[in-house]
Structure 1
Amino acid sequence: MAVYTDVQPEAAQTLLAQLSLGPLESLTPIGAGIENTNYFVRTPEAVWVLTLFERLSTAELPFYLQLMRHLADRGLPVPAPVAGPEGGLIHEVCGKPAALVNCLSGRDVVAPSLAQIRQAGELSARLHVAAADAPLRQPNLRGPAWREQAAQVVAPYLQGTQAVLLQEELAHQHLSLASADAQHAPQGPVHADMFRDNVLFDGESLSGVIDFYFAGVDHWVFDLAVTLNDWCVDLSSGHLVPEAAQALCEGYAQARTQAGQPVTAAEWRLLPAMRRMAALRFWLSRLADWHLPRAASLLTPKDPAHLERVLQDCRAQPWRPAL
């Protein structure tokens, strides 16, 4: 989340009137994140989150918004987009496509407990299973083709060992995706960005997951790897914390089994390769944001060095859970 477009109270009030949500009490910019413009919108009855989409096109948005609506209707703790009078989930604010969703309770946790990490694994599995029959399909827009393109963009800023690391990981990605395990591992709509700052807790209890705007169809185990690489690594060194990784995978596996879709042997074999792929994806995006920042009134690019350390650790530790 960030602020690229300044929204005036009048524009927010116009949207609230169109949606019959009452008068505007306050409009507060949200500075976290990097992709879209976000505001908290408060009315006498509720707090909402207004998102103006700065990169995603109107044609791409139905997938994300209908996925969120689908998951919310299934009882999962995700933001539910508000529909307009004719049922549309995409609105227009300041000349840009926009969405308004309910603001979930809770807050993110910087240093989650093992119990909270396990809950994150459980929720990830529940999302995968519940999204399997979502009405729309759209590939992960930060998938292999994007990673190839992003690598070309950031390559001029890399030298020596970093340049070698990038080329080696692109080659490893090709081999991994061509493997028999990758061909047989289940795929479907995934969150693809379930970092700890996108998951909310009320005390020890998980209360919500937000920011679905990197979602797309990909391997379920890739999504698990994305989550593992954030929740289960030391934020200073980038090293894997095995007990945290074990808790996440146990929660994930238990929820998949309870849903009648146990994790396959192919998925567990793929996990080390998918961890490298996930680390590469976020290293690339952070390199691009760091070296080619976009103008915004509230924006703090994240240092790509952390994801480079995570990637190096994935290469050094091809970890799998003891299940």
Structure 2
Amino acid sequence: MSTSAGHDTENGATRAAAIEPALAAWGLTGAPTERLDGGAANEHWRVETDDRPRVLRRYHPRRATESLPYEHDLLRFLADRKWPVPAPIAAEDGKTVVETDEGRWALFPFMRGTPPEGSELLLQRKGSLLALLHEDLGEWESPGQRPTFGRVTDLDAAVAPEGFRSFEDFLAWYADEDPERAQVLAETRQRNVADLDAHGYGDQPDTAIYYECLGANVLFVEDTVTALLDFDMAHEDARVADIARSLVIDCGSDNQKVRSWLAGYAAHASPRLT
């Protein structure tokens, strides 16, 4: 796991209050740490050890504890398949998630590399990577849907962390806050459901998906892929959901970029795209 270093190192008070109890669980009391930038939700610190750097993660408070084993088991499976992923490191008690008064923590290897500059060739490689990853993910003995996650159509799961029992409950609350936007959101939801039904999304089988094979999560050293980062959003859905997310984030509405990415994916897709 790799993120860019922040400008500030931990001061003594913050370190003692938050980081030290977590580090102690891995026998790393007193190890030098540096706060890392990056990460949309979780917090990360680089930890220097005798053999190689590690990354300490504090999970966002809204990430459900019961969802973490799915991510960790998936990372171990991929690491066993020789994928360059940061498999979690067990603490001294054998667990990969440690709870302290300051949060829930996990420790990972520091993955070297940098995200390269964008190009059509890079997009092809990202597409190829995701296709090959999907093939291996199809052989993982998945426990089923990751707790608190759902398919792209399951908006009940999406709003549950905010305290709503369903998407309809959320819309009812939002209608009191901003009636016009709530109405637009409801209509957009209806159009999306109709479009997905028309294109057969509901008939597509579930599989484990990465959902983050994009942006700066793919690292290189020269021409070699050295890391796939951030499996925090991995869950069960149709593989087309994974493809669509990568296209939206990495390609946008640029047709040439879309063609480049899809060419890479199609060259290695199993089953083939139809």
* Fold conserved between structures, TM > 0.5: yes
- Please state whether the residue corresponding to 1:75 is helix, strand or coil: coil
Higher mean C-alpha displacement, 123-132 vs 198-207: 198-207
Cα distance in 1 for residues equivalent to 2:169 and 2:261: 30
- In the TM superposition, residue 193 of structure 1 has moved relative to its aligned partner by 2.9
Unaligned runs of 5+ in 2: 160-166
Contact in 2 for aligned 1:105/1:207 (Cα 8 Å): yes
Cα distance in 1 for residues equivalent to 2:260 and 2:168: 35
Cα distance in 2 for residues equivalent to 1:151 and 1:206: 41
Q: Which one of the candidate residues 62, 68, 71 is aligned to 1:64?
A: 71
Change (3 A) 1:56 1:96: same
Q: Which residue of 1 aligns with 2:263?
A: 250
Unaligned runs of 5+ in 1: 234-239, 266-323
Q: Which one of the candidate residues 209, 215, 219 is aligned to 2:228?
A: 209
Q: Which one of the candidate residues 83, 86, 98 is aligned to 2:90?
A: 83
Which amino acid in 2 is paired with 1:88?
K
- In the TM superposition, residue 247 of structure 1 has moved relative to its aligned partner by 1.3
- In the TM superposition, residue 63 of structure 1 has moved relative to its aligned partner by 0.6
Change (3 A) 1:159 1:149: closer
Cα distance in 1 for residues equivalent to 2:223 and 2:170: 39
- Please state whether the residue corresponding to 1:29 is helix, strand or coil: strand
- In the TM superposition, residue 57 of structure 1 has moved relative to its aligned partner by 2.4
Q: Which one of the candidate residues 83, 99, 112 is aligned to 2:118?
A: 112
TM-score by length of 1: 0.67
Contact in 2 for aligned 1:116/1:206 (Cα 8 Å): no
- Please state whether the residue corresponding to 1:49 is helix, strand or coil: strand
Cα distance in 2 for residues equivalent to 1:186 and 1:255: 19
Contact in 2 for aligned 1:108/1:198 (Cα 8 Å): yes
Contact in 2 for aligned 1:23/1:43 (Cα 8 Å): no
Q: Which one of the candidate residues 212, 218, 221 is aligned to 1:199?
A: 218
- In the TM superposition, residue 62 of structure 1 has moved relative to its aligned partner by 0.5
- In the TM superposition, residue 203 of structure 1 has moved relative to its aligned partner by 2.9
Contact in 2 for aligned 1:117/1:248 (Cα 8 Å): yes
Change (3 A) 1:106 1:9: farther
Contact in 2 for aligned 1:70/1:134 (Cα 8 Å): no
**Is structure 2 residue 48 aligned with structure 1 residue 42?**
yes
Aligned length: 251
**Is structure 2 residue 105 aligned with structure 1 residue 98?**
yes
Change (3 A) 1:252 1:157: farther
Cα distance in 2 for residues equivalent to 1:15 and 1:171: 45
CA deviations over 1:135-160 (Å, ceiling 9, x no partner)? 43224357422263796376677686
Contact in 2 for aligned 1:51/1:100 (Cα 8 Å): yes
Change (3 A) 1:38 1:7: farther
Which amino acid in 2 is paired with 1:35?
A
TM-score by length of 2: 0.77
CA deviations over 1:143-191 (Å, ceiling 9, x no partner)? 422263796376677686x656533321123224444722332321112
Q: Which one of the candidate residues 183, 188, 193 is aligned to 1:169?
A: 188
Cα distance in 2 for residues equivalent to 1:149 and 1:210: 34
Aligned ranges 1:266-281 → 2 under 5 Å: none
Which amino acid in 2 is paired with 1:249?
L
Which amino acid in 1 is paired with 2:236?
V
Which amino acid in 1 is paired with 2:109?
N
Contact in 2 for aligned 1:115/1:204 (Cα 8 Å): no
- In the TM superposition, residue 82 of structure 1 has moved relative to its aligned partner by 0.6
- In the TM superposition, residue 40 of structure 1 has moved relative to its aligned partner by 1.3
Q: Which residue of 1 aligns with 2:163?
A: none
Change (3 A) 1:164 1:201: farther
Contact in 1 for aligned 2:128/2:267 (Cα 8 Å): yes
Contact in 1 for aligned 2:175/2:183 (Cα 8 Å): no
